[in-house]
Amino acid sequence: MLSNQADGDKRRSLHGHWSSRMAFILAVTGSAVGLGNIWKFPYIAGQNGGGAFVLVYLVCVVLIGMPVMMSEILIGRRGRRNPVATMKLLGQEEGSSERWKWVGGMGVLAGILILSYYSVIAGWTLAYIVKSVTGAFAGASAGVVGDEFDSFVSDWRLVALTHTIFMGLAVFVVARGVERGLEQAVRFMVPALLVLMLVLLGYAISSGYFGQGVAFMFTPDFSKLTWGSVLAALGQAFFTLSIGMGAVMAYGAYLPEETSITGASAAVVTADTSIAILAGLAIFPLVFANGLTPGDGPGLVFNTLPLAFGQMAGGVFFSTVFFVLLSFAAWTSAIGLMEPAVAWIVEHFHKTRAQATVGVGLLIWLLGFGSVLSFNVLADTKFLAGTIFDNVDYLTSNIMLPLGGLLIVIFAGWVMCRNSTADELGNSGGLFKAWRILARYVAPIGILLVLINAVR
Ligand code: PHE
């Protein structure tokens, strides 16, 4: 195999390349592992009745998430540009149409919309670092922990402040660029987060309610499953894997030629899914041990884990470390959410990376006020899916990401010729065939079925 430099015919990305295969896996894992695993997965699973939802989610991850992720990476690496330009270029190269650029465009928009609320929740985790350090949870009861959460989110100024700080942090890293910024932020976070989740798991096992938590998560009651909850599971699979919006495509553009896309995708999917399942296993026993309800919504993790920390030896320390890590996880995900928009602006409008990042960051910060106010001043202003936060979340996770994913697998499976995809994935027999069957038939039909049945 030629080295990357000698490989003169191959494109290079304007933004530089990952320094190694491991750096890429870390970056995509950093983007995938975030609030989606620890904050969102447990509360969505709780709202949708547990077991059956979790099963559908796992099926979606394997049969749809995995082929979509591979498709995104291979498209990104082949185009070596931002998602808009890459889709346009490959659309032309493959003899189709440059209109495929709109798939990239929808991704840019989805990233901006998602980060507008993601940053608000990430702000909560920043606030919880402070609460942890000051020992607010030491020995606290479920009532005290719940009040602490309610009084925090009902103060819109505090929520706005922490949202602002988080956006500042995100802009700072993205502005520094691919190698200096993105890579360094993810190196230690994922392993450290895994260790902390295991500590929490240990506590959950000792709580006496572990069996009940496990039963809730893994005993499927299909009578509770509606098309709405199947769509929620599909949307969660997309959200948690960072797919369907070009984040992984943008990262793929910086991927060296010789890295195995299948191997990298499998590693990311495994890490991401394990952390989500661990989070559920740590949280649901606490829900039952303290007489809370699993379907309580976005406050779930903030109302449960502090209880465990409050009763543990060394709880102040563990709690602080946990919320620091969760903030880091959110931070590395925020980078992925901004990257498509920033890369597009840099390439399309010839701005510097710093200018593009500040501009996108300001827009997202402003939009974020819709979600800041959804938990206090505008909590009772409800339409369609609920508050502004609920609507942005529903529109992005349940509509835009699955739709983006659908178009991406159709592009990779049907529009790109077999040779182009084989060239990127390596035409090594079984794995390539399996990817092609999933990308051409299973994933598109699956996504379409769920979207049509849930939305009509
Ligand atoms: N996957 C991230 C999480 O689980 C969220 C995300 C979505 C990040 C899309 C980037 C792109 O928290």
Specify the pLDDT at position 142.
94
How many structural domains are present in the chain? 1
241 Cα nearest atom in ligand 1? 1
CATH number at residue 14: 1.20.1740
**pLDDT class for 3, splitting at 50, 70, 90?**
very low
Site residues for ligand 1, CB cut-off 6 Å: 31-32, 34-37, 114, 239-240, 242, 245, 247, 333, 336-337
Specify the pLDDT at position 22.
79
Specify the pLDDT at position 5.
35
CB 142 within 8 A of CB 306: no
Q: What is the per-residue DSSP string for 176-217?
A: H-IIIIIIHHHTTHHHHHHHHHHHHHHHHHHTS-HHHHHHHH
**pLDDT class for 4, splitting at 50, 70, 90?**
very low
Which of 193, 240, 339 has most ligand 1 atoms within 8 Å of CB, for mutation?
240
pLDDT digits (tens, 9 = 90+) for 180-226: 655 666 777 778 888 888 989 999 999 899 999 999 999 999 998 99
CB 35 within 8 A of CB 121: yes
Q: How far is the CA of 206 from the centre of ligand 1 (A)?
A: 31
Q: How far is CA 251 from CA 13, 119, 133, in A?
A: 10, 21, 35
Closest CA relative to residue 211, chosen from 279, 292, 284, 276 = 284
Which of 31, 112, 119 has most ligand 1 atoms within 8 Å of CB, for mutation?
31
Specify the pLDDT at position 7.
40
Tokens coding 14? 């304007």
Q: What is the per-residue DSSP string for 303-342?
A: HHHHHHHHHSTTHHHHHHHHHHHHHHHHHHHHHHHHHHHH
270: pLDDT strictly greater than 90: yes
Higher per-residue confidence, 181 vs 250: 250
Specify the pLDDT at position 403.
98
pLDDT digits (tens, 9 = 90+) for 84-98: 999 999 999 999 999
CA distance 44 to 100: 32
Which of 61, 238, 239 has most ligand 1 atoms within 8 Å of CB, for mutation?
239
What's the start-to-end Cα distance of the chain, in Å?
51
Specify the pLDDT at position 185.
65
Give the lowest-confidence range in 114-128, 361-375, 420-434. Answer: 420-434
DSSP helix/strand/coil, 383: strand
Q: How far is the CA of 247 from the centre of ligand 1 (A)?
A: 9
Specify the pLDDT at position 196.
87
If you average pLDDT over residues 45-63, what whole number do you get? Answer: 97
If you average pLDDT over residues 319-347, what whole number do you get? Answer: 93
Give the lowest-confidence range in 7-11, 251-255, 361-365. Answer: 7-11
Q: How far is CA 281 from CA 146, 195, 270, 276, in A?
A: 20, 14, 16, 9
Higher per-residue confidence, 312 vs 349: 349
Specify the pLDDT at position 187.
73
Q: How far is the CA of 31 from the centre of ligand 1 (A)?
A: 6
Q: Whose CA is nearest to atom 7 of ligand 1?
A: 242
pLDDT digits (tens, 9 = 90+) for 336-387: 999 999 999 999 999 999 999 999 999 999 999 999 999 999 999 999 999 9
Q: How far is the CA of 240 from the centre of ligand 1 (A)?
A: 5
If you average pLDDT over residues 145-164, what whole number do you get? Answer: 97
| Average pLDDT in the chain | 92
Max avg pLDDT among 100-104, 191-195, 255-259: 100-104
Specify the pLDDT at position 97.
96
Number of Cβ atoms within 10 Å of the Cβ of 404: 26
The rounded percent of the chain whose pLDDT value lies above 70 is 96
Max avg pLDDT among 6-20, 195-209, 257-271, 438-452: 438-452
Backbone angles phi, psi at 295, to 5 degrees: -90, 25
Q: How far is the CA of 95 from the centre of ligand 1 (A)?
A: 32
167: pLDDT strictly greater than 90: yes
Which structural domain range is residue 290 located in? 2-455
Which residue type, as a one-letter code, is found at position 285? P
